[in-house]
Amino acid sequence: MPELPEVETIRGQLDKFLAGKKIKEVRIKLPKLVKFPTPKFKKIIIGQTIQSVSRRAKILVFNLSNGWSMLTHLKLTGRLIFRKADEPLQKEDEKWNHLIYSFSDGSRLFHNDLRQFGYVKMVETSKLDDYFIKEKFGPEPLEKGFNFEKLLAILKKRPKMKIKQFLMDQTLIAGIGNIYSDEVLFYSNIHPLRRAGDLSDKEAKKIFGEIKRILPLALKLRGTSENTYLDARGREGEFATRLKVYGRKGEKCDCGGVVERIRIGGRSAHFCPKCQNNH
């Protein structure tokens, strides 16, 4: 599933490409993807200008000129790929397409999704804050307001929760998933089965520092192309070459240990038993 660096990469690109463009048409090939009545959905968005593209957690928010916002969640395998009017279509534009947005200047945005877990919702822009409060998203880890004291306070709320699950819980911290929780814990030398309440302040500070270091670095490299992720121009992210443990079960760590994978709450966790031996 695209995580914060991947979704923020796409957000930044689409905000640059789409701001000021008028939606001329939308082709809906998979109605279940749109969690809104099709006729009303088309009536609301067609003819409107995209004012900006923002993000909350892993959700992209297309803010329209008529006071509505279109929320798009890519879930596990979703992609949003932008093509200019004069650009030839690529294979990633044609595979698994479910929504095609056409703009007045001839450019198009392709929403495709192999597993079809993603969704599009419509929310009045004035009600976005209330909507996200109901979704119970935690703080954004890249915002200045997310400081070490805030992380400590959240850790104290879930002392019995395993730290791997803690980092992935969207109601506690928004945007971190399987990939970056593994990498944050590796660089922090923390075993994924450690409980949040058992961490020392020094260990918690390591985790905080790695969140603030790894997420911006991954964003700079346009994310990690794991599974089907591509950015809004159909390119793979470049952070995969930096991964130390995620997806590397059975491979040697830099320390000479061998990366292991375990299941925690139905999700996988990769770690080096030599570097992260403090369970």
Whether residue 51 has pLDDT greater than 70: yes
| Tokens at 147, concatenated | 């400081």
**Can 2 be counted among the known catalytic residues?**
yes
Residue tagged active-site, from 233, 235, 267, 274: 267
Same domain, residue pair 104 and 169:
no
User: Would you state the pLDDT for residue 268?
Assistant: 95
Whether residue 95 has pLDDT greater than 80: no
Same domain, residue pair 12 and 130:
yes
Instruction: Kindly state the average pLDDT of the residues 11-35.
Output: 97
Instruction: Kindly state the average pLDDT of the residues 109-124.
Output: 95
Same domain, residue pair 246 and 217:
yes
Same domain, residue pair 105 and 152:
no
Residue range(s) defining the domain that contains residue 229: 148-271
User: Would you state the pLDDT for residue 89?
Assistant: 76
User: Looking at the domain assignment, is residue 276 inside a domain?
Assistant: no
Over the chain, what is the mean pLDDT? 95
Same domain, residue pair 35 and 60:
yes
Same domain, residue pair 157 and 183:
yes
Instruction: Kindly state the average pLDDT of the residues 121-147.
Output: 97
Instruction: Kindly state the average pLDDT of the residues 145-163.
Output: 97
Same domain, residue pair 10 and 124:
yes
Instruction: Kindly state the average pLDDT of the residues 148-162.
Output: 97
Q: How far is CA 44 from the centre of its chain?
A: 26
Q: Identify the CATH number of the domain in which residue 80 sits.
A: 3.20.190.10
Over the stretch 164-223, which tens digit does the pLDDT of each residue have? 999 999 999 999 999 999 999 999 999 999 999 999 999 999 999 999 999 999 999 999
Whether residue 92 has pLDDT greater than 90: no
**Can 220 be counted among the known catalytic residues?**
no
φ, ψ for residue 91 (rounded to 5)? -60, -35
Same domain, residue pair 174 and 249:
yes
Which of 85, 100, 135 is where one domain is finished?
A: 135
Which of 81, 106, 135 is where one domain is finished?
A: 135
**Can 16 be counted among the known catalytic residues?**
no
Same domain, residue pair 97 and 199:
no
Same domain, residue pair 110 and 17:
yes
Whether residue 90 has pLDDT greater than 80: no
Between the ranges 16-25, 96-105, 227-236, where is the mean pLDDT highest?
16-25
Which of 104, 135, 166 is where one domain is finished?
A: 135
Whether residue 234 has pLDDT greater than 70: yes
Number of domains in the chain: 2
User: Would you state the pLDDT for residue 93?
Assistant: 62
Residue tagged active-site, from 3, 92, 183, 210: 3
Residue tagged active-site, from 55, 58, 164, 194: 58
**Can 6 be counted among the known catalytic residues?**
no
CA distances (Å), origin 189, targets 168, 265, 268, 274, 279: 17, 21, 18, 9, 10
Same domain, residue pair 245 and 168:
yes
Instruction: Kindly state the average pLDDT of the residues 225-233.
Output: 88
Do the beta carbons of residue 184 and residue 211 sit within 8 Å?
A: yes
Q: Identify the CATH number of the domain in which residue 250 sits.
A: 1.10.8.50
Q: pTM for the full model?
A: 0.95
Residue tagged active-site, from 2, 5, 141, 192: 2
In whole angstroms, give the CA distance from residue 155 to residue 175: 17
Whether residue 7 has pLDDT greater than 80: yes
